[in-house]
Amino acid sequence: MHLRQADLIDFAFNHASIGMAIVSLEGRFIQVNRALCELIGYNERELLSMNFMSIIQHDDAEEHRECFNQLACREVEAFHTEKRCVHKQGQMVWCMIVTSLVFNEKGEPIFLFAQFHDITANKLTELAQKEVAAVLKEKEESLRILMEELPLAVLITQNGVCKYLNAAALELIEADSAERYLGTSTNEIVDPCDHEKLHERRRKYRHGEKMGSVKYKVNCYNGDTKYVEGISIPATYCGERAVIGVFQDITERKKEEERMLHSEKLSICGQLAAGVAHEIRNPLTSINGFIKLMRTLKHEKDQYYDIIEAELKSIEIICNELLLLAKPSVMTRTKTDIVRVLEQVIALMSVQATLKNCAIVAAYPQEAIWLSCDPNQIKQVFLNIIKNAIEAMHGGGNIHIDLTIHGEYAHISIQDEGCGIPPDKLQMLGQPFYTTKESGTGLGLMVSYNIIDNHGGSMSVESVPDQGTTFTISLPIMESADLY
Ligand code: ADP
Ligand code: MG
């Protein structure tokens, strides 16, 4: 079969997947293709009785008419518009309409050729995206208002750099505007003494670990220092990963705590001073007495010297223990293998124990357990407690020493088979000068509790009268990251 060119054009027109129409210069449909009929739901006959403008949605029609007139007046030769067409069923069909003039051989316009590209799916996605963006923007806006009005200080950071400070935050750091701080590192606000904490929290954030609450010392714009407490949570700010920190000023609370601690310290000092005076007065009285006696007797007796010497010795012991008590504030921490320390103490005390019919039975792991501590102070604690254990077993017995690991802590238990401690006396342990021994100082346990406390550990005691006592010391093990 031989097809003419016009037939071919007709065929292409009718079978195109894009909606097409030939429209008169007045706007009437002259010819429409199948795809256009399908696109807007009218059949060919119906469309041919309609006007181009009548299928355009009312709101868009005016603009479209203008373009159409420009075409008809030959001001332009083609135009592209995105318009909503109305489907026969009433729904909107988004179309990209390309309309162009068609000319005869003489160069006169004879009709318009219009193509309708269906862009409904794209348009709907675009609209949905716009809607989501608008909702997000609205949410961000309400969050911003909330943060601005919040009486708590809010700080938003990205990679440790300040991006936003609310009014309360500015008030807290005594700054008039955020400008000085925006774009600077939080290191500038947090005091250098807490930079370690800050870095640790940044590390946790990077590893997706929970950051929890924190206390910082902060430096204000006017040079004052304050204390804050707060929490940080991961968030998104301006489309990027960020951290929102919410803080409150605890400077007053901290000062109050310090005042209380100070008065507590003062009362302990008073207690100690009274105790020391009392403890030293006795040996001094007897020294005094013997010197007077020696003076009247005119001749010296060795025996009196012995007594004077013994009394001076007891003054010395009290003074030494008191000095130890003062020491924890200047302790020097080093990386220490607690197993070695315990071995040395046991070697040191074994002889003394054997002399008193006691045996030390120890069980500890072979490999090193590293603590960050002052080894001499920890040794002092073990010595005090083992010494007490020996002294509690008048008829001899066993002292069991066990070293085990419980999570991030090393537990050292020292168990004796001695006289035990009556329940009502348990809370007296650790109080200065509480002793039940004739030659005791009542300072050993107080010093020990202090040392353990200064090392971030704890000490507990369980005791059954006539059966024995167990002291358990718990000390934090060094984190593996700090070991090397
Ligand atoms: P000191 O040993 O000089 O008396 P400490 O502070 O070491 O002072 O001990 C205080 C008191 O606690 C002791 O006098 C004793 O009554 C009691 N105590 C301590 N350890 C034991 C123990 N293992 N068994 C029984 N009592 C103990
Ligand atoms: Mg003691």
Amino acid at 75: E
Q: How far is CA 397 from CA 275, 358, 468, in A?
A: 33, 5, 10
> In this structure, which residue's CA is closest to atom 7 in ligand 1?
444
**Structural tokens at position 3:** 């097809």
Nearest ligand, CA of residue 426? 1
H-only helix segments in 302-374: 302-326, 338-355
- Shortest CA distance to 147 belongs to which of 138, 156, 157? 156
pLDDT of residue 182: 94
Distance 349 CA to ligand 2 centre (A): 14
Distance 389 CA to ligand 1 centre (A): 8
295 and 417 Cβ atoms separated by less than 8 Å: no
> Can you tell me whether residue 228 is helix, strand or coil?
strand
Nearest ligand, CA of residue 443? 1
Distance 84 CA to ligand 1 centre (A): 94
> Can you tell me whether residue 256 is helix, strand or coil?
helix
pLDDT of residue 450: 84
Beta strand segments in 348-467, E: 358-363, 370-373, 397-406, 409-415, 458-464
pLDDT of residue 433: 81
Max CA-CA distance within the chain? 158
Which residues contact residue 84 at a Cβ distance below 8 angstroms, ignoring those fewer than 6 apart? Answer: 56, 57, 59, 60, 92, 93, 94, 95
Bridge partners, residue 242, by sequence: 235
Burial (CB < 10 A; 0-12, 13-18, 19+), residue 29, is buried
419 and 392 Cβ atoms separated by less than 8 Å: yes
Rounded CA-CA distance 350/345 in Å is: 8
- How many other CB atoms sit within 10 Å of the CB of residue 113? 16
- Shortest CA distance to 230 belongs to which of 177, 260, 194? 194
Q: What angle do CA 451, 452, 457 make, to 5 degrees?
A: 150
For the chain, 484 residues long, give each residue's pLDDT as a single digit of tens.
455 777 878 888 888 899 999 999 888 999 999 999 999 999 999 999 998 888 988 877 787 788 778 877 778 888 888 889 999 999 999 999 999 988 888 888 888 899 999 999 998 898 899 998 888 888 878 888 888 888 999 999 999 999 999 999 999 999 999 999 999 999 999 999 999 889 989 988 888 888 888 999 999 999 999 999 999 988 888 888 899 999 999 999 888 877 776 666 556 666 666 667 777 777 788 888 888 877 777 666 777 777 778 888 877 777 776 666 555 445 678 999 999 999 988 988 888 898 899 999 999 998 999 999 999 889 989 999 999 999 999 989 999 999 999 999 999 999 999 999 999 999 899 887 889 998 788 888 988 888 898 888 999 999 999 999 999 999 999 876 565 5
- Shortest CA distance to 471 belongs to which of 445, 451, 447, 453? 445
Nearest ligand, CA of residue 317? 1
Bridge partners, residue 477, by sequence: 371
Distance 392 CA to ligand 2 centre (A): 10
Nearest ligand, CA of residue 387? 2
**Structural tokens at position 367:** 């490999």
Interhelix angle for 375-392 vs 338-355, to 10°? Answer: 30
Rounded CA-CA distance 314/277 in Å is: 13
- Shortest CA distance to 248 belongs to which of 220, 212, 216? 216
Residue 440 CA, closest ligand 1 atom number: 3
pLDDT of residue 481: 55
Rounded CA-CA distance 361/343 in Å is: 12
**Structural tokens at position 66:** 């203008």
Rounded CA-CA distance 139/237 in Å is: 12
Name the residue of 435, 448, 460, 466 whose CB sits within 8 Å of the most ligand 1 atoms, as the mutation to test its pocket.
435
Q: How far is CA 292 from CA 282, 286, 300, 307, 312, in A?
A: 16, 10, 11, 14, 16
pLDDT of residue 328: 46
Bridging pattern class, strands 78-86 and 92-103 = antiparallel
Residue 429 CA, closest ligand 1 atom number: 12
Distance 187 CA to ligand 1 centre (A): 49
**Structural tokens at position 163:** 């991006």
Using only C-alpha atoms, the chain has a radius of gyration, in whole angstroms, of: 46
Report residues whose beta carbon is within 6 angstroms of any ligand 1 atom.
Answer: 384, 388-389, 392, 416, 418-421, 429, 434-437, 440-445, 469
> In this structure, which residue's CA is closest to atom 19 in ligand 1?
388
